[in-house]
Structure 1
Amino acid sequence: MDYRQLGASGLKVPALSFGCGTFGGKGPLFGAWGDTDVAQAKRLIDICLEAGLTLFDTADVYSEGASEAILGEALEGRRNAALISTKLGLPIGEGPLQAGTSRRRLIEGVEAALKRLRTDRIDLLQLHAFDAGTPVEEVLKALDDLVGAGKLLYVGASNFSGWQMMKSLATSERHGWPRYVAHQVYYSLVGRDYEWELMPLGLDQKVGAMVWSPLGWGRLTGKIRRGVALPEKSRLHDSAAFGPPVDDERLYAIVDVLDALAAETDKSVPQIALNWLLARPTVSSVIIGARNEEQLRQNLGAVGWSLTAEQIARLDAASATTPAYPHYPYWGEGGFRQINPPPV
């Protein structure tokens, strides 16, 4: 396993981390992802640790807290061998105090997560979304207090826009509070919007990307191709509406290249899609998920080798889209690009 620096921190994380969204199986979204119980989770964690994958990512909203609880129980007795990343901020109930990142919500949320995870500290806490109703200063001072108390070791964000991340970083710097070292983002061959603004920000400010849904909500598993019906057991039947739309023809063009590269490299379609991400700027860790041992071992095969520059260029060309304004002038071949070239 390759280990990488997480942003501007001293923390080294594995290139692949394990997403625990399949643990618990509660609710319409997470029920479609999987229903891994404690015994199954222990086995998956065994395989991860044997492979050097030491970072496990979850959230309080995953299966109504069951994901954190299962992860905590499955890690009991080997907590020090693992890094735990969790998230909070999205609504966990109907009440006004059960959503957002106010000081009260952060302190109560962290305490509840620690109990479910059966641990005394969270290695990385990421805010699941930007809370427009709470001042940034309140959020960051609360995180500073939690870090000072030893309950959090590092902090990050997830799904922030560029201005939200930059405002947070500037506020942290002004007051001497902990900076976000990670940004958990959606990024894949079928979803490259991250490159337009957030990737240049990550490079400039040294914020490491932790990539969620690297296979485009299951579209890059190798089971979806032109002229082939969506598999009956595909989770896209239940979860596609929760993710961004993808143009069918663009998807098929990407899969055509993935199929060709699979034949050239003797690697699977998912392994190639994951390996492409591992070579992108700012990417610290790609979060993989698995319902069973076979899927996990397959995804672990994405490390330890590299695509050639020519193969990467073919994937880049097949997956390219026109960025939204004001980004698209900088991706062209004119003067905008000369004075401020895109990072990839």
Structure 2
Amino acid sequence: MQVSFACTDHGLKAPRTSEPNKQNTSSPNTASAARARFRTVALIARSLGSFAHRHHISLKESTGKLTGMKYRNLGKSGLRVSCLGLGKHFLIYKPVAEQLMTIAYENGVNLFDTAEVYSAGKAEIILGNIIKKKCWRRSSLVITTKLYWGGKAETERGLSRKHIIEGLKGSLQRLQLEYVDVVFANRPDSNTPMEEIVRAMTHVINHGMSMYWGTSRWSAMEIMEAYSVARQFNLIPPVCEQAEYHLFQRDKVEMQLPELYHKIGVGVVSWSPLACGIITGKYENGIPESSRASLKSYQWLKEKILSEDGRKQQAKLKELTHIAEKLSCTLPQLAIAWCLRNEGVSSVLLGTSNPAQLTENLGAIQVLPKITALVASDIDKILGNRPQSKKDYHH
């Protein structure tokens, strides 16, 4: 445990009187008392852990000593999230959901994302039951959910003030929690004025139902509008955007969102780092019977893979496999680590369905330092889809 204090000499020196001709006879005693208090605080801090000046600690990224997990600020807020989180799919496979969440938690993952629409609310119930059963400290978790599709009635969907407040109350009941850490507005709602959305999000935060709010699948222009409304009416702006980001989907995260990150502090929680399984390499020789693309509900994915563009992507993935082999990692690990290189990405959500896959994906953290500027350049040459703008990355 590490305790830090912002230390200054304020209070350690004798206070100056506002009357220049009057001598302050109590200043030595005041200074001595202040020093005594400071020494007491320092002793308490040392007994709890290490003592350090606040400015000596990097707030941008830190590493869990026991797990190797890296933690980043959510956008430019003060919320610390694991750079890898768990998304939708781990909750859909109920028999292994608890096992997957346990593996993730024990490896330092603290971010768990769900939505009111996932399995018609059942995903939130499963997540809530697991948290309750495992008796994990609520303060050690970052739980997020998304609002938009809540039910069949006209008033049970969208981003009206009514649905944001009622929808979040419903999510909290299913999760068996008093609050979520981040509530996301899932897709912009053209039927609702932006001011109403921002006011409703400010309301749920002010009433302790959520700590922060964010957007999901919003354009940069829409996010900027929300920020402007918040500033105009002294409301709370969003802190991050959930966006699709992977080797074959780069424009939004690399072209549009960096400006928002630098100007207004909106970060990215990215999803689908493996492009619905396309980047795993399992579709190199067609559609396996046990794969997601073989399901009727994923006919669109099958068509995408078998298209001409899909075949070109598979050829590029075959070349990328050689880079992965040189780095002693798998293709999925390379793809996830590549996503983590982006400066504005606070966390990458993993959509995993089995323990072996999750363990493999978590290993991407060890690959991250291996993706040097030269390796990244080689990847760009193979992909041939780098957006034409300057980008800053960290390792």
TM-score for both structures, normalised by structure 1 = 0.86
Partner of 2:377: 313
Q: Which has the higher contact order (CA 8 A, sep 6+)?
A: 1
Q: Residue 57 in 1 paired to residue 113 in 2?
A: yes
Matched residues in 2 for 1:244 and 1:70: separation?
32
Structure 2 CA distance, aligned partners of 1:118 and 1:177? Answer: 28
Q: Does 1:66 align with 2:122?
A: yes
- Are residues 1:302 and 2:391 paired? no
Partner of 2:281: 222
Q: Is the 8 A contact 1:21 1:62 kept in 2?
A: no
Whether 1:138 aligns to 2:196 is yes
Describe the shift of the 1:244–1:129 C-alpha distance in structure 2 as closer, same or farther (beyond 3 A). Answer: farther
Aligned to 2:257: 198
Aligned equivalents of 1:297, 1:208: Cα separation in 2: 26
When residues 240 and 211 of structure 1 are mapped into structure 2, their CA distance, relative to the original with a 3 A threshold, is: farther
1:296-333 superposed Cα distances (whole Å, 9 cap, x missing partner): 1011100033212221112122223376xxxxxxx2xx
CA shift for structure 1 position 242: 6.9
Check conservation: 2:183, 2:214, Cα contact below 8 A. yes
1:45 aligns with 2:101: yes
| Structure 2 counterparts to residues 83-102 of structure 1, below 5 A | 83-89=142-148, 91-102=149-160
Q: Is the 8 A contact 1:20 1:71 kept in 2?
A: no
For residues 193 and 158 of structure 2, what CA distance do their matches in structure 1 show?
Answer: 11
Against the structure 1 CA distance between its residues 74 and 290, is the aligned structure 2 distance closer, same or farther, given a 3 Å change threshold? Answer: same
Residue 81 of structure 1 is aligned with which of 121, 137, 140?
140
Shift of 1:163: 1.1
- The residue aligned with 1:234 is 291
- 1:68–1:113: 8 Å Cα contact kept in structure 2? yes
Q: Deviations over 1:270-309 (max 9, x none)?
A: 0000000100120100000221111110111000332122
Q: Is the 8 A contact 2:293 2:302 kept in 1?
A: no
Structure 1's 200 and 256: CA in aligned 2 closer, same or farther, altered over 3 A?
farther
The 5 Å alignment of 1:104-119 reads 104-119=162-177
SS, match of residue 113 in structure 1:
helix
1:143 shift after superposition: 1.0
* Structure 1 portions without partners, runs of 5+: 25-34, 324-330, 332-336
How far apart, CA to CA, are the structure 1 residues paired with 2:383 and 2:208?
43
Find the residue that maps to 1:303 and give its secondary structure. helix
Shift in alpha-carbon separation, 1:268–1:342, aligned structure 2, 3 A: closer
Name the SS for the 1:60 alignment partner. Answer: coil
> Aligned letter for 2:70?
D
Amino acid aligned to 2:292: R
Residue 269 in 1 paired to residue 331 in 2? yes
The yes-or-no answer on 1:252 pairing with 2:314 is yes
3-state SS, counterpart of residue 183 of structure 2:
strand
What residue is the counterpart of 1:147 in the other structure? 205
Per-residue deviation at 1:142? Answer: 1.0
Q: 1:66, CA displacement in angstroms?
A: 0.7
What is the SS of the residue equivalent to 2:94?
coil
What is the one-letter code of the residue matched to 2:349?
I
**Is residue 250–residue 319 contact of structure 1 (8 Å, CA) maintained in 2?**
no
Q: Offset of 1:197 from its aligned partner?
A: 1.7
TM-score, with structure 2 as normaliser: 0.75
For 1:254 and 1:10, locate their aligned partners in 2 and report how far apart those are by CA, in whole Å. Answer: 39
* Runs of 4+ displaced beyond 6 Å: none
Contact 2:280 2:332 in 1 (8 A): yes
For structure 2, the residue ranges without an aligned partner over 5 or more in a row are 1-68
Q: How many residues align?
A: 314
Q: What is the Cα deviation at residue 342 of structure 1?
A: 5.4
**Separation in 1, partners of 2:322, 2:204:** 50
C-alpha separation between the residues in 1 aligned to 2:270 and 2:90? 16
Contact 2:332 2:361 in 1 (8 A): yes
Q: Which amino acid aligns with 1:205?
A: I
Q: From the superposition, tell whether residues 250 and 315 of structure 1 become closer, same or farther in structure 2 (CA, over 3 Å).
A: farther
Structure 2 match to 1:17: 85
Q: What is the identity, as a one-letter code, of the residue corresponding to 1:304? A: Q
